[in-house]
Amino acid sequence: NAKVGGKNSFRFFTKRMNEHSQRLLTIGDDLRRAVAERLLTLHYQPQVDLGSGKVVGVEALIRIDHPQRGLIPPGEFISVAEENGMIFTLGEWALDEACRQRRRWLDAGFDDFVVAVNVSAHQMARGDLPEIVARTLAGHRLDGRYLELEFTESSLMRNVGKSLSLMQQFHAMGVRLSIDDFGTGYSSLAYLKQFPLDKLKIDQSFVRHLDEQGSDALIVQAILALSHALGLTSIAEGVESLAQQNILRELGCCEMQGYLFSRPLTAAAVESLLPRRT
Ligand code: C2E
Ligand code: MG
Ligand code: MG
Ligand code: MG
């Protein structure tokens, strides 16, 4: 009966709400502690040129290195940080740490690759990111060409005028710009071609079944055609098998990133894979 059902679903709803806010509070506390106690860490995953086999970049991926719980992946705390406003602290920390590490690598003779940093839509919305990026690069005496910023389609399309202005400022600093998880959001092609972009990152959901029967090869082919038409470099995410790598190479994809070549590694561990100045 409708009345009882309604009451039950209301109770269910409030219970769910409480669980949600409880979870937010707990993770929120963990996050604040993680920042205060310096438990944040970056792992770096190589990006490989499919033609030459050379590492041309590394993506910086944030984790919490928890003394009891071990490594906590970003999937467990980024959305909470976006809800409670800590994303700005996390995002600025990640940018600063990635630039510090790139400077160290430069000083140690590792040349010719970029470090890519993920940017949240919330950071884009605030508008002070160009200032922060400029200050961070200067703070580490780092040329902009060593840094790449990754944006999602939705964060760029939310306010196109504002995004365009931000992107132009990053571009003027020599920073490379890429679109992450491409194909999972909604991009206006008319706008896309106005942005001073460098790279499309093909989402791993199109790569996962590439070596099986199905339409994914056609979708990847279409994204590559688009990328080519826009004059952009392309990279496939989540490449786990040789079969996937071979198909991507045949389709003309420029670069790949995934467990096949390497999982995300600590700064120390990734070093043996980095190109060195000769
Ligand atoms: P993303 O930027 O699309 O990063 C790629 C994700 O795919 C990473 O997960 C990476 O570990 C995973 N991955 C790489 N290769 C493979 C593969 O071959 N197979 C599979 N199954 N997965 C693979 P991770 O590190 O858990 O990061 C998840 C997401 O969290 C990232 O997705 C990004 O959206 C976000 N994120 C990570 N670091 C930051 C950050 O510093 N700031 C912000 N705003 N977001 C971040
Ligand atoms: Mg990314
Ligand atoms: Mg991605
Ligand atoms: Mg993603």
| Residue 255 beta carbon below 6 angstroms from any ligand 1 atom | no
| Residue 91 beta carbon below 6 angstroms from any ligand 1 atom | yes
| All residues with CB under 5 Å from ion ligand 4 | 181
pTM beyond 0.90, yes or no: yes
| Residue 203 beta carbon below 6 angstroms from any ligand 1 atom | no
Instruction: Assess contact for 124 and 82: CB atoms under 8 A.
Output: no
CA 185 to ligand 4 centroid distance, Å = 11
Say whether 176 sits in a helix, a strand or coil: strand
The predicted structure's pLDDT at residue 207: 97
Q: List the structure tokens of 50.
A: 């499919």
Residues 6+ apart with CB under 8 A from 132: 92, 95
> Model confidence over 78-113: pLDDT tens digits?
999 999 999 999 999 999 999 999 999 999 999 999
CA atoms of 151 and 76, how far apart (whole Å): 19
ipTM reported for the complex, 2 dp: 0.98
> Model confidence over 124-168: pLDDT tens digits?
999 899 999 999 999 999 999 999 999 999 999 999 999 999 999
CA atoms of 44 and 267, how far apart (whole Å): 6
| Residue 81 beta carbon below 6 angstroms from any ligand 1 atom | no
CA 2 to ligand 3 centroid distance, Å = 44
